[in-house]
Amino acid sequence: MTGTLFGLGVGPGDPDLITLKALRLLRAAPVIAYPAPDRGDSLARAIVASHLDGTQTEIAIRIPIQGSRFPAADAYDRAVEAIAPHLEAGRDVAAICEGDPFFYGSFMYLYERMIEKFPVQVVPGVSSLTACAAALGTPLAARDDMLSVIPAMLPVALLRERIMSAEAAAIIKVGHHFEKVRAVLAEAGLAAKSRYVEHATMSDQRILALDQVIAGAVPYFSMILVHQRGRAWR
Amino acid sequence: MTGTLFGLGVGPGDPDLITLKALRLLRAAPVIAYPAPDRGDSLARAIVASHLDGTQTEIAIRIPIQGSRFPAADAYDRAVEAIAPHLEAGRDVAAICEGDPFFYGSFMYLYERMIEKFPVQVVPGVSSLTACAAALGTPLAARDDMLSVIPAMLPVALLRERIMSAEAAAIIKVGHHFEKVRAVLAEAGLAAKSRYVEHATMSDQRILALDQVIAGAVPYFSMILVHQRGRAWR
C-alpha cells in the first residue's frame, strides 16, 4: 500500500480559516511538506503552526526567490525525491498550500510530477480572492458579471485591455508591479473604483486607497479589486 | 449593544469544508438565517445541518425561484424585517452562505441592506470555483494566466468572446444554459479542453465529458472549466 499525497489548502493566513477536512488530514499525516524561501521561514507552515504538535517529519521545499520568473524545476524535482520514499513506504504526506492548492498555487508543480505515480488528493481551501473581498467588505461579483483574475506581471497594454473588459477584476500578485498597475487604473479612470489590500486575514492586514500605497513597499501577497460598476450590487 | 450580522461562508457542500472560524461563529449565534426556495429545504442549511444542535432560532429567507432573473427585492426586504429585531436586541445573527458570501452569493442583497445600520462581518469560505478544480484534479490557473469566471447566462457572442480571451475560464451557473455553452465551446474547438462537474464535493458529485452530459438534467450548481493551454501547467 503506497501512501497518499494530500494537497491541503490551508487558507489565506488566519489559522482559523483552515477547513475541518484540511485540519484532520494535516494532523493525521506522519509527514508534512511545504514551500519555503531559500533561507528563512515558510509562510505556509506558519499558517498552520498552531495546529502542529511537532511530532511529524517535515520537508521544506526550498524555492529560490531570485532568478527565473517561474519556479525552478530543480527545486520540485528534489522535492519529489524527498517525498516519494515516504509514499512508497506507505506514509501519507500532507503538502501545505497557502490559500487553495489549484488557485495560482505552486502545488501544481508537485502535482504534475506525482499524479501518475501516486494517489493524490486535493482539498480546496479559502483562496486569497475571497479573503480579500471579505477584508474589503466588497462583493466580488454578482449576477451576470464577469470576474477576471489578472496577474499584475502582464504587460501594460494587455493589463489595460483585460481590466477594461471585465465588470469586476482582481489584480493579483501585485508586489513590485504596483506603480504600473496604478498608472493603468488612473489612465482608465478606475482609480476611485479600485481598492487595495495586502496580507488579507493576517495579523498585518492593511487596506489602503491607491494613492496612499507606497509602491516600493508592496508585498507579493497583495491584491487590487476593481469594480467597473462601482459596487457589485449596483 | 447591538448584535452583529455574520455572513458565514460554509463551503461548497461537503460539511467538512467549513472553516474553524465559520463553525465557531455558527455555533455561537443565537439566531441563524439562510436562503431557501419557496417551498422545501435550504441547501445552505443542509450543508451545516450536522453542526447544529437545534437550539437556535431559525430564519428561512424564502426566495421565489420562478419569475424575474434576479432575486426579488421583496424577499430581502422581508428578511431584513425578520433579522433586524434580533440585532437590535443584541443577538448575533449568522447568515449561512453556500460557498463564499461574496462570490456570486445572495448574501450581498442582505449586506447592502444591513451594512449602514448594523455591524456586519464576512467570513470567507471555500468557493465552488476552487472546489470544482479540486474535484476535477485540474489546476485553475498558474503564473501569468488570466482566469475568467463567466456566468453561463450571457448571450452567445459575449460568451464566446470572453471564453476565448482568457487562458482559463470557469463557466458558472450552467443549468439550463448548458446546450448553448456546449455549442460555443464546440465551435471554438475547445470541447476537448473543457471539463464538466456538478455538485462538487457533495455526495452526488458528478464529473462528465461534455458529450456525456444530458442538457435537460444540468443543475444550477454546475461548472465547466476550460483551459486554452490544455493544462494550466503547460
Model confidence at A68: pLDDT above 80: no
- Chain length of chain B: 234
Are B59 and B161 contained in the same domain?
Answer: no
Name the more confident of A70 and B144.
B144
Q: What was the pLDDT predicted at A59?
A: 98
Query: Does A232 fall in a domain?
Result: no
Least CB-CB distance to A16: which of B20, B130, B137? Answer: B20
Which tens digit of pLDDT belongs to each residue from A10-43? 999 999 999 999 999 999 999 999 999 988 999 9
CATH of the domain at B151: 3.30.950.10
In sequence order, the 6+-apart residues with CB closer than 8 A to the CB of B158 are none
- Chain length of chain A: 234
CATH of the domain at B36: 3.40.1010.10
Torsion of CA A131, B101, B162, B148, to 10 degrees: 30
End-to-end CA distance of chain A: 55
Are A186 and A90 contained in the same domain?
Answer: no
- Is-contact B131 B207, C-beta < 8 A? no
Q: What was the pLDDT predicted at A80?
A: 97
Mean pLDDT over A153-161 rounds to 95
Are B92 and B159 contained in the same domain?
Answer: no
Query: Does B90 fall in a domain?
Result: yes
Query: Does B233 fall in a domain?
Result: no
Range of the domain at A168: 129-227
Which tens digit of pLDDT belongs to each residue from A130-145? 999 999 999 999 888 9
A102 with B134: Cβ contact below 8 A: yes
Q: What was the pLDDT predicted at A88?
A: 98
A20 with B23: Cβ contact below 8 A: yes
- Put simply, whether A63 touches B (Cβ < 8 Å) is no
Query: Does B234 fall in a domain?
Result: no
Domain boundary among B126, B160, B190: B126
Query: Does A234 fall in a domain?
Result: no
Determine which helix (DSSP H) or strand (DSSP E) holds A86, and give its type and residue range. Answer: helix A73-88
Please give the C-alpha separations between residue B60 and each of A71, B39, B83, in angstroms, as whole numbers.
48, 10, 10
Q: What was the pLDDT predicted at B234?
A: 42
SS3 A199: coil
**Probe site for chain B from A19, A164, A180 (most B CB atoms < 10 A):** A19
Are A25 and A108 contained in the same domain?
Answer: yes
The string over A199-217, giving b where at least 16 C-beta atoms fall within 10 Å of a residue's C-beta and e elsewhere, is bbbbeebbeeebeebeeee
Query: Does A24 fall in a domain?
Result: yes
Residues of B in contact with A165 (CB under 8 A): 162, 165
A124 with B105: Cβ contact below 8 A: no
Rounded distance, CA A172 to CA B67, Å?
37
A108 with B232: Cβ contact below 8 A: yes
Are A47 and A112 contained in the same domain?
Answer: yes
Q: What was the pLDDT predicted at A71?
A: 60
Q: What is this model's ipTM?
A: 0.95
- Tally the C-alpha atoms within 13 A of residue B26's C-alpha that lie toward its C-beta: 28
**Probe site for chain B from A129, A132, A234 (most B CB atoms < 10 A):** A129
- Put simply, whether B64 touches A (Cβ < 8 Å) is no
Are B82 and B16 contained in the same domain?
Answer: yes
Which tens digit of pLDDT belongs to each residue from B45-101? 999 999 999 999 999 999 886 555 556 788 999 999 999 999 999 999 999 999 999
Torsion of CA B58, B63, B65, B66, to 10 degrees: 140
Are B94 and B152 contained in the same domain?
Answer: no
Please give the C-alpha separations between residue B86 and each of A84, A210, B29, B111, in angstroms, as whole numbers.
55, 38, 11, 16
Query: Does A19 fall in a domain?
Result: yes
Domain boundary among B95, B126, B157: B126
From B129, B96, B94, B93, select the one nearest B18 (Cα to Cα). B96
Domain boundary among A97, A126, A155: A126
Rounded distance, CA A117 to CA B89, Å?
59
Model confidence at B233: pLDDT above 90: no
- Put simply, whether B6 touches A (Cβ < 8 Å) is no
Instruction: Grade residue B231 by pLDDT with cuts at 50, 70 and 90.
Output: low
From A27, A38, A43, select the one nearest A63 (Cα to Cα). A38
CB contacts under 8 A, B 109-128 vs A, are 109, 111-112, 115, 120, 122-127
Model confidence at A201: pLDDT above 70: yes
Q: What was the pLDDT predicted at A234?
A: 42
Query: Does A158 fall in a domain?
Result: yes
C-alpha cell at B80: 431584513
- Put simply, whether A13 touches B (Cβ < 8 Å) is no
Which tens digit of pLDDT belongs to each residue from B96-145? 999 999 999 999 999 999 999 999 999 999 999 999 999 999 999 988 89
Residues of B in contact with A139 (CB under 8 A): 102, 105, 108, 111
Chain A: closest CA distance from residue B55 (Å): 22
Are B117 and B10 contained in the same domain?
Answer: yes
pLDDT cut 70: percent of chain A above it: 95
SS3 A108: helix
- Put simply, whether A176 touches B (Cβ < 8 Å) is no
* Dihedral sign (CA B231, A10, B9, A139): negative
pTM here?
0.95
C-alpha cell at A180: 504600473
Are A60 and A99 contained in the same domain?
Answer: yes
Are A68 and A82 contained in the same domain?
Answer: yes
- Is-contact B156 B226, C-beta < 8 A? no
**Probe site for chain B from A23, A100, A171, A233 (most B CB atoms < 10 A):** A100
Q: Say if strands B5-9 and B120-123 run parallel, antiparallel, or are unpaired.
A: parallel
pLDDT cut 90: percent of chain A above it: 87
User: What is the domain count for chain B?
Assistant: 2
Which tens digit of pLDDT belongs to each residue from A71-110? 678 899 999 999 999 999 999 999 999 999 999 999 999 9
A103 with B141: Cβ contact below 8 A: yes
Are B11 and B92 contained in the same domain?
Answer: yes
Are B137 and B212 contained in the same domain?
Answer: yes
